[in-house]
Every structure is written in C-alpha cells, then in structure tokens.
Structure 1
Amino acid sequence: MPAIPIPRFDQFYRYAELTRLLQDYADARPDLIALSSLGKSHEGREIWLVTVTNTATGADTDKPGFWIDGNIHAGELTSSTACLYWLHQLVLGHRFDDRITQLLDTRVVYICPRLNPDGAELAMADRPRHIRSSTRPYPWDEDPVEGLTVEDVDGDGRVLYMRIPDPHGPWKCHVDEPRLMVPREPGEFGGQYYRVMPEGTLTQYDGLQIQVNPNREGLDLNRNFPAYWRQEFEQTGAGPYPTSEPEVRAMVDFIVRHPNIGAGVSFHTHSGVILRPMGTQSDDDMTPEDLWIYKRLSALGEKLTGYPAISIYHDFKYHPKEVITGTQDWMYEHLGSLFWTVEIWAPNKEAGITDYDWIHWYREHPVEDDLKLLKWSDEQCGGQAHVDWYPVVHPQLGRVEFGGWDRLNFWRNPPVHLREREVARFPAWLTTLGLSLPKLEVLRTEVRALGPDTWRVRFAVANAGYLPSHITKRALERKTARGVVFEMHLPPGVSLVSGTARIVGPQLDGHAPKSSLQAFLPNRQVTADRAVAEWVVRAPHGTRIALTASADRAGTVRTEISLD
C-alpha cells in the first residue's frame, strides 16, 4: 500500500498538485478515504470531495455527517490549507488517537478543500489578479473600455499599490515614518500629497480622470445560496438566480442528497473570528434553544482555537444598514443544521493590536495601529508585508511608485512561516463538533411468543450523541428532519398482525443537559433519548427478520431477530 503523503502546510497547492495530493491520500488509505467529485467548476475543473470514515464500520451514508469546505473565495487560500490540515490529522490519528478513532468509526467527515478551483488558480497565477470568487464574467461578459483594471503590472507576482504626487491628493507620508501613507487632515495644505490606488493598468486614460473598474468577474459564490437570496441591487455578486453557479449548485445538491449532514464549518479569511448565525436576524429573534447550543459550542471553539466567537448579525456586518447572507444561512436557517463560518488569520492581532472592531477597523483606526503593523512587517516578515515604495515607469501613467501592503500574501492570508501555526488551531474543535453529533444505536430487541406462530417483536434504539436527533429546533420548524423511522423487512411467508412495516417514531434527545440540577423545575423527559417500535407478526418458528432504524441526522442501525 502506498505511503501516506506528507503535505506542506506553508505553501498553497495549485489545482494539479492538489489533485495529486488528494489522490495519494485515497490510494494510501482506501479503508478511510474516498475521493469523488461534487461536479465541475465554471472552467471545467473537478470540485474534489474527500469522504473520510472507517468503511469497516459501515457506509458513510449510514453515519452522522460533518461537513467542512474552504476556498469559496478566490484569494482565501489558507482556508484550503485548513481543510487539508485536518484531513492529515484524521488520517494519521485513526487507530492512534482515541477521539479521532471514535469519530471516524462512528461518523463521517466530508471535506471539500477547494470549492472554487478556478478562482484559486487565478489568485496563484504567475501574474495574479485578485477577484472575489468565480472567474465567470458577471454581470456582463465584456472587457472594460476605460478605467483602471487591478492586476500585477510589473510581473513580480504581487498586486500592490501605486502612488503619484498630487497637490490635491488625500494621502501624505507619516511625519516620522515616510514609508507609511496616512490620511491628510481636515483643512491641511502646503505639504507633499499623493493619490494612492491599486496596482493596475489603464484603458483610455485621458490624463486626468481615473476610476477603478469592478472586476469583470463580479460573482460572489457565497451570495448565491438559496437562503434569503437577493438580486444584485441588494446583494452584490449574488448571480442571476439562486444556485445559478455550478460550484454552489454542486455543494447544495450534495448536501441535500446527504441528510445525514447535521453540522459543518466553512473556512474563509481573514479576521481571526468564529462567526455563528444568524445572519439575517438578531439573537432576540432566534429560537432560544438553538441560540443556547450555538453559544455553548461556539464558546468551546473560542477556548480551543483562541479565536473569539461572535454573532454575524450583531458583530460582523460590512455595513450597519446591510444584511449579508451565505452558506451559514442556508445550512442553518433553511436546513436547520449547525454551521459556523471561520475567518482565519488576523494580522492586526499579530501586530499587537488587540482592542479593535473586526469590520469597522478597516474604515477608520488610529495611525498608531499602522505603525505597529509596519513594525511587525519589518521584524516578523522581512519587510515584505509592507513593501517599501520603489520607482516604476508605468505604461500609461509614466513615473510612479509601487509599494504598500501586500494584501494577498500577508493580509488575506498569513505569511509563509505562520500558515501551519494558524490552521493547527482547528482540529481539536472540529473533532469535538463531529463527536457531538447524534448517533443512533441499538438498545435492545425482544421477541415473545404469543402463540405457536404468533410473535411480539420490540425494537428499541437510543441516541448516544450529545445533540438531539434533529440537531436544532430550526430543523423541526422547517420540517427538514424526520424522527426515527423503524422498518421491519418481512421475508416471504411472514405477515403482520399489528403494526405497519414502517413506523415513524419520535425525535430523540441527546445527552446535552437542558438545565442545571439547580433548575426550578426538573427535566420530566428522563429517557427522551430512547424510542421503541412494536409489531405482532405471524411466522413459523425459527424465522429470521431484519430490522432497521434510521434518523436523518443520527445515522442508520440494522439488526436481525430470530423468532424462537
């Protein structure tokens, strides 16, 4: 059997390399890993899915499922690394780590390390362009006829900034640190000022006016999900209709066809936070039981990862008057699955800036923060996070200077020497979430003779997991998860006297406590984690009958009884 591959987590894999790496994992551990494709991207690349479970203990579809994905946004490459890192820990840990072994023996993990392979390829190209998501032209398929197109002009593999001296410019050099551009003060005049704009080329430049063009590829795949989809005028990049894009449609179709998926995480960059629903409503409007479990598991994530866990609606709006939706809204608000979005990496925090708002900081912050970041660039990044300004003869603008922050390689993603450290934060929390999923188990079977050829059969099951079989109250409200379904598979010559071949039973509680022992009222549903089905059958002595019980998100169990 081939050896388990040893990936590098300080580098980003191009599509061909990623494909080979995943194939090598599948070849090395066919007992644990199955590699398949969710579908094809806009440019025809396979969207790889890794199914991780111990096949000796059952099929993946018979087990509770946990989903993770990464790289839905083109330049958020570390999110793919986070998926690969946990995959590697799962492969190495099975049979050697008790928690990982338990996870893969009893549950299944679905990993999509790169949901948007086209956008990632463009971000890693020799001359990259920084787009939001898919490479499909949207909303119009046409090249710009004027304006500035953001791209790597000098071929150094980076997209930086350009600065041009201009007496009307809004920027100036910091008085003590001339490399740093800071805003011009109200009423200030008489100094050296600059216009600062992204690195790029201009079309039809008239020598006076510059407008930065939107990317020709204007889609945001994370706005294309069915939940609360809105048109372009309300939500930029949403696409012409929900799931119009093949990448999103492939993910949605797979998850809908796998109702065993009860929870998941989508990795993004950056901000260094764990985001929980809801995205469209305040906590006051959220189903209380779901809010309580979200807060409990999010607090565990905060403890295990070091990332603060916050509400999207209350703490992570791009604009206070706007609401954004994405994967987490579809998974929780439509399907009732628990779901988190993790924004990997916080350069601010790395530089020693601890008291800041995750979104509003980018609109306005004290210049002292920029000086801390510049110091971090010099001391920890070899001066490459903030590139010293250097002269360039621009093809349209003439003499300008390039420099400033390298956003893709140091802001949107951690620098090379910190990538593995950053993604190593997550496996403990992810494993705990997976182990918290409901898990159906056979509790007991009973056969009692009522006559020479008549028998009473009882089949009892229990939920051995932390979470209830429906995962959330939202799932009950949306009717997306049935209770336990018992089935008796009658062989020829056997008939039912009472009962039906299929019985839809109740939802099952998990062992998560509903309240403390000091609560005012006791929990009256002491054994709500159990369910029993009963039949009376007519069959010859010694007949064997197969029984099945399944719960959409708690898995399937099978057993056989003998009438004797």
Structure 2
Amino acid sequence: MFPYDRFVKFEELTTLLRSAVDAHPGLARMASIGSSHEGRSIWCVTLTNYATGEPLSKPAFYVDANIHATELSGSVAALKLIDTVLSGYGKRADLTRLLDSRTLYVIPRVNPDGAEWAMADKPKYIRSSTRPYPYAEDAIEGLEPEDIDGDGRILMMRFRDDNGPWKKHASEPRLMVRRDPVETGGEYYRIVSEGRIKAYDGFNLPVARVKTGLDLNRNFPEEWRPESEQLGAGDFPTSEPEVRACVEFVNKHRNICGGVFFHTWSGVLLRPFGTKADDEMAPEDLWVFQTQGKKGEELTGYPAISVFHEFKYHPKEVITGTQDWLYTELGSYAWVVEIWCPMREAGIKDYKFIDWFRDHPVDDDLKLLKWTDETHKGKGYVDWYPYDHPELGKVELGGWNRFHTFSNPPPHLMEKEVQKFPDWIVFQALMSPKLEHHSTRVTSLGGDLWRIDFGVHNTGYLPTDVSKLTRKKKYVRGVVAEITLPDGAALVEGKARIESGQLEGRNNHHTLVSFWPGANATEDRLRFSWIVRAPAGAAVTVEARHDRAGTVTQRISLN
C-alpha cells in the first residue's frame, strides 16, 4: 500500500493516505487536525469498523510520528501500522477484533514543514519546526550546516590543524578518532559540519546561532520550562500550531487510553517519567508499563526503559515530551519508540544508550564502519574527498552520512525495521478497557409495572479509567447509564440518568498463591435497575457509556 524504501514528501503522503482511505471506506477516514507553521495540513487517519460504531463510541489508541524534522522513518512506521491493520482486517483475528471494538488515531507526520526541509534536493537539517525561534533574524557570523557541493548530503568537513583534537586511525585511515590526552607530534585535524562560514576572520570558527531552534517535543504543557531551562521550548506551552493541534485533538477525544510516538534513533522503547524516579509513580501503573514493556521487548527486540533512569541527555538534566504529557496530564499509558539502532546491527552489545554518544570504544567505530561498508554500499560512510572551500580553502568532505546511517535506517533496511512495531501497538490497544453488555432481565410486577435490570461489564485488561493517575486526577467520570422511554411510559423508580463509579480490569489480580484476596470478585461488573410503567410490548432503550471504555446500547421489549 505504501513505499517502504524511501521517504515521501507532503503532497505524495497526502495522495497515498487518501488512496488508502478510499480503498477501505468502511474502516478508515482521514481529516486534518490543524495546520503547520507554513500552512500544511496535519493529517490524521482514523481506523475503526464504522459498522460497529462511531470512533468516539469505542476505546482508542493514539499514534503520531515525525515531530522532529529528520526523523522521517517515524512516518514510515506510522504508514506500516495503517497498512498492517487495514490489509489484515478479516484475515487476522486480533486485527479484526481491534477495528470491530476499538479505534486507532494515526498521525503520520506531525511536522510536515521540517520534513520537507529534510527531503529537499538541497536538504536543511533542523531539529523541528521551521518557524524562526528564539529570534527572527539570520545569523551574521559563524558556521551554518549546508550541502555546499550540491550532492544532496550534509557530511563533515576536516582540515589539518596541529592543535586539532582528531587524528586518523592507525589501521583504518578513513576513520577519525580522538587524539590521546597527552599526545603530540602527529597529524591532527579539526572536524566540523559541512557548511559555509559567515564573516570568517581567518581565526575563529564559531558555530552560527540556529535560526530555527524550536523543539516541538518540548512545547507540550506537562512541566513546560522556558528556553533558559530547556532548549527549543517555544514561547509558552502549545505556542506552536503543530503541538496545539495535537493537544486539542487528544483533549477532544477522551476515549484515548494510550499512545505511541515514533522518533529516531537508539533502538529503545521509552516510558515515563522523564523528570522523576519510578518510586513516584503509582505501583499499579508502573506494573502496567512493565507488562507493556516486556511484550514490547519480545515483539520488537528493543529494550524497554525509563527515560529518567536510563535515557537522560545529561545526568544533571531531565527531559519532558509527549510520553510524559499523555500519561502525567491525561493518565493514558504512553511510549516513545526510538526507531533504529545501528550499533546493535553492527554487533555492538551492552552499549549505554545516550552515554554511548558521548564516549565509546574505538572498536565500536570499527565495527560500525565494517558493517556500514557491507550493508550501505558506500552511502553510509563516505570516503573523504577534496573540496575547495570558499572560506577555509582546501578541506575534505566525508565521514558518516548520519541522516541515512544513524538518524534513519538505510532505505533497503527500512521495512524490516518498521514492521517490528504494529503487533506491539495492537497488543496495547487491545489492553484498553471495553464496556460490554452482560445481561438484561425484564420482570413483570403486575399491571403495567416492569422491573428492568441492565448489567454491563468491563472485558478489557485495564480498568475503565485506565490508570491510577487518572483516578487520582478524576480526569474521566465513571460509567453513566440512561433509560429512554416511549411516549406514554413513565419512570416509577430509579433515575433517568445514573452516574456510577469505575469498573476494574484484570491488571491487578494477584497470583493464585497470593494470600491477599480481592475485595470483590465481580468488581468488573455493574447492574442498573429501573421500575417503569408502560403497556406490554412497549420498547425501552437502555444505554451505558464511559468516556474511555465505550458505549453499550440495548433495545428492550417489555414482555
């Protein structure tokens, strides 16, 4: 249904999504949830079996991707999810059950503007949005990354400098390694990004201030911090149209029970918290995260880890973003998937995630280089070649093509990588609570009096309100039941609308050897009762609904 060996620009993405939706009119619809800074639509594809109910009448799962400009394989993963679910409906029991009983909201590209820059013939790699921030003027001095030779890549530049921190590897001269701390007398280099240098004075080589410094993933409301505390944060929470569109969408769709956000790279599954330790999370919620993470490790091969404990950019700093926002503010379980780990592909084991970027053995670089030579056919690591730089004079361009080796899987490995995730997302979506009909009993009390007993139960793994955090914040109300009577009938006992509490799921059951028995063996059930006056044969409608667990409707004949 979609191409998996290349990235697609906005217009083609739009066409592909429309074609997929048109091919499955009963299972998919497409709408814009808002517009980007440059005015492009942010498309959302809603997947459910419309014959079994409208999307909001079912528990839902949310997926988005490509909030960061160069992380284009996230969009590919989102397309693979859409493809897998639509093509598998009616063929796979779990996918059929998913669309019959649940809803998926999939936003393949949150940041269409930044993605267009990354895919341009002469690419520009930025963190996220194209809106100027924090200042609108262009830099007047310093190095700006740029494809200076017009080959469609932004590589590295190296040039000789007796005090440079880099040198050629003794046995593999293509590879640049750190100069030893006390080493002197060798051939040394400085290495910077490929690009032009504004106002170069022949001596200083500062990096130009980034004009597009926004990080949309730091613009969410949860524990938002200003630019002085977190780079790219934006002017205020949801100041950016892309983020505001996502926040408003989720808040209008209270049926969302969980979410996955596709990023790159590291090859890990990241869960909350980003700002505090696990012991500050409700244990019951942590246990659910651990259950989801264990299944994720089994299905994807990626380790499931805590952002705070194992994925900090700096040991003294914390990270906020979408996964914390969806859980901490809304109580829905949320994960960030960091797609792709070239280290693992090259046979490097026991690497320390973020710490690996700061420092790692040279042997790791040699393994990566060997693996890249074998799999990327010269496109992953580019042999250094001479270039006459307009400011620096003779330099060499080359080194890692990070966009296609690290930031994203290479095209020929893309589909293999992104097909790891749909089954895990389906697993999480099917964990959601599900309000279903249990039983209905009509009892004649004589004359025109009737007693109606309407029972519902939660058949999902999670409680109707999903998490302990939701219950603490009272983000969703309990099960609501209503009775609708025909003309001439009257309600004698009971309320026309009854608001009840939450229904438990199966997630907190102890083992059979536990000595802590449950307080209620049927805590997943509720029964509502009314007495009505109506003639025999009259039709009465009863309904139970929950914002997250769905809606159950029964039409009853009084006889």
TM over 0.5: yes
> Where do 5+ consecutive residues of structure 1 fail to align?
1-5
The aligned residue for residue 3 of structure 1 is: none
Match among 134, 150, 153 for residue 155 of structure 1: 150
Residue 515 (1) aligns with residue 516 (2): no
Residue 245 (1) aligns with residue 240 (2): yes
Please tell me the residue identity of whatever aligns with 1:388. D
CA RMSD of aligned residues (A): 1.1
Contact 2:222 2:320 in 1 (8 A): yes
The aligned residue for residue 441 of structure 1 is: 436
Please tell me the residue identity of whatever aligns with 1:495. A
The aligned residue for residue 464 of structure 2 is: 469
What does residue range 298-377 of structure 1 map to in structure 2 within 5 Å?
Answer: 298-377=293-372
The aligned residue for residue 291 of structure 2 is: 296
Match among 60, 74, 80 for residue 75 of structure 2: 80
Tell me, in whole angstroms, the C-alpha distance in 2 between the residues paired with 1:171 and 1:164: 10
The aligned residue for residue 65 of structure 2 is: 70
Shift of 1:538: 2.7
Q: Deviations over 1:69-107 (max 9, x none)?
A: 110100000111001011111111011111111111111
Shift of 1:496: 2.4
What does residue range 85-124 of structure 1 map to in structure 2 within 5 Å?
Answer: 85-124=80-119
Please tell me the residue identity of whatever aligns with 1:110. Y
The aligned residue for residue 481 of structure 2 is: 486
Tell me, in whole angstroms, the C-alpha distance in 2 between the residues paired with 1:461 and 1:355: 49
User: Match of 1:496, SS?
Assistant: strand
Shift of 1:493: 3.1
User: Once structures 1 and 2 are overlaid, which stretch shifts more, 140-149 or 206-215?
Assistant: 206-215
Q: Deviations over 1:177-204 (max 9, x none)?
A: 1111111111211111111101111111
User: Match of 2:234, SS?
Assistant: coil
Q: Deviations over 1:250-273 (max 9, x none)?
A: 111111111111011001000000
Tell me, in whole angstroms, the C-alpha distance in 2 between the residues paired with 1:104 and 1:181: 51
User: Once structures 1 and 2 are overlaid, which stretch shifts more, 515-524 or 495-504?
Assistant: 495-504
Match among 271, 295, 299 for residue 276 of structure 1: 271
Tell me, in whole angstroms, the C-alpha distance in 2 between the residues paired with 1:491 and 1:244: 50
Q: Deviations over 1:90-132 (max 9, x none)?
A: 1110111111111111111111000110011101011111100
Q: Deviations over 1:112-163 (max 9, x none)?
A: 0001100111010111111001111111111001111112111111111101
Shift of 1:361: 0.6
Tell me, in whole angstroms, the C-alpha distance in 2 between the residues paired with 1:562 and 1:214: 73
Match among 528, 531, 537 for residue 526 of structure 2: 531
Residue 55 (1) aligns with residue 50 (2): yes
Shift of 1:458: 1.6
Shift of 1:561: 1.6
The aligned residue for residue 556 of structure 2 is: 561
Shift of 1:297: 1.2
Contact 2:226 2:234 in 1 (8 A): yes
User: Match of 2:461, SS?
Assistant: coil
Tell me, in whole angstroms, the C-alpha distance in 2 between the residues paired with 1:530 and 1:312: 36
Shift of 1:495: 2.8
Tell me, in whole angstroms, the C-alpha distance in 2 between the residues paired with 1:48 and 1:508: 34
The aligned residue for residue 496 of structure 1 is: 491
Percent identity, aligned pairs only?
55
Residue 27 (1) aligns with residue 22 (2): yes
Runs of 4+ with deviation above 6 angstroms: none
Tell me, in whole angstroms, the C-alpha distance in 1 between the residues paired with 2:335 and 2:209: 29
User: Match of 1:72, SS?
Assistant: coil
Change (3 A) 1:563 1:358: same
User: Match of 2:399, SS?
Assistant: strand
Shift of 1:513: 4.8
User: Match of 1:242, SS?
Assistant: coil
Give TM-score, length-normalised by structure 2.
0.98
Residue 8 (1) aligns with residue 3 (2): yes
Please tell me the residue identity of whatever aligns with 1:207. G
Please tell me the residue identity of whatever aligns with 1:97. R
User: Match of 1:523, SS?
Assistant: coil
Tell me, in whole angstroms, the C-alpha distance in 1 between the residues paired with 2:231 and 2:372: 33
What does residue range 177-196 of structure 1 map to in structure 2 within 5 Å?
Answer: 177-196=172-191
Tell me, in whole angstroms, the C-alpha distance in 2 between the residues paired with 1:259 and 1:452: 43
> Where do 5+ consecutive residues of structure 2 fail to align?
none
Contact 2:139 2:210 in 1 (8 A): no
Please tell me the residue identity of whatever aligns with 2:106. I
User: Once structures 1 and 2 are overlaid, which stretch shifts more, 321-330 or 442-451?
Assistant: 442-451
User: Match of 1:322, SS?
Assistant: coil
Shift of 1:466: 1.3
Shift of 1:541: 3.1
Give TM-score, length-normalised by structure 1.
0.97
What does residue range 169-184 of structure 1 map to in structure 2 within 5 Å?
Answer: 169-184=164-179
Contact 2:46 2:103 in 1 (8 A): yes
Shift of 1:482: 1.5
Residue 133 (1) aligns with residue 128 (2): yes
What does residue range 224-235 of structure 1 map to in structure 2 within 5 Å?
Answer: 224-235=219-230
User: Match of 1:409, SS?
Assistant: helix
Match among 389, 392, 415 for residue 420 of structure 1: 415
Match among 199, 215, 223 for residue 218 of structure 2: 223
User: Once structures 1 and 2 are overlaid, which stretch shifts more, 442-451 or 465-474?
Assistant: 442-451
Contact 2:510 2:516 in 1 (8 A): no
The aligned residue for residue 393 of structure 1 is: 388
Please tell me the residue identity of whatever aligns with 1:194. Y
